[in-house]
């Protein structure tokens, strides 16, 4: 874990095993991760502090799609600068939405892959002087 204080992160993923991998990888990269497993609850959570610096977003969620959540994030002033990693098993959706996210990962995603990418995003965030 990094010596700096953990930055808030949000994992929006309905597969419990994948969410667990995401949470451990992101926390290992110096984030404090919260997990939400459905779209409506995610939208509600995004309106309350703390504002996540990093969001890992599954595109296929119950209730509200990940694509709708991504559009909400990008159109909401207090969220639009959050770093977003899309996680999907659908390469076509990944291609369609890659311009609206910071990274797109095709599932299955490994612990090491996500930890390393999260570490780089944290460094990028810290280098911006945020």
Give the contacts of 89 (CB within 8 A, at least 6 positions apart). Answer: 60, 106, 107, 108
pLDDT tens digit string along 1-13?
445 789 999 999 9
pTM of the model: 0.89
Do the Cβ atoms of 25 and 115 come closer than 8 Å? yes
Longest dimension (CA), the chain: 39
Q: How far apart are CA 99 and CA 103, in angstroms?
A: 9
Can you tell me the distance from the alpha carbon of 49 to that of 64, in angstroms, rounded to the nearest whole number?
21
Residues 6+ apart with CB under 8 A from 53: 7, 8, 9, 31, 82, 83, 125, 130
Q: Domains of the chain (ranges plus CATH)?
A: 7-127 (3.40.50.2300)
pLDDT tens sequence for the chain (130 residues): 445 789 999 999 999 999 999 999 999 999 999 999 999 999 999 999 999 999 999 999 999 999 999 999 999 999 989 999 999 998 888 888 888 899 898 888 888 888 898 888 888 888 886 5
């Amino acid at each position: 874990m990094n010596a700096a204080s953990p930055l808030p992160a949000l994992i929006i993923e309905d597969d419990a095993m994948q969410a667990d991998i995401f949470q451990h990888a992101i926390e290992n990269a110096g984030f404090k991760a919260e997990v939400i497993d459905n779209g409506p609850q995610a939208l509600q959570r995004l309106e309350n502090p703390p504002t996540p610096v990093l969001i890992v977003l599954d595109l296929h969620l119950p209730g509200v799609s990940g694509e709708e959540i991504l559009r909400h994030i990008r159109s909401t002033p207090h969220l639009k600068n959050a770093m977003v990693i899309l996680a999907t098993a659908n390469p076509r959706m990944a291609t369609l939405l890659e311009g609206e996210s910071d990274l797109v990962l095709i599932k299955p995603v490994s612990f090491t892959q996500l930890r390393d990418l999260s570490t780089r995003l944290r460094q990028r965030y810290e280098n911006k002087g945020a």
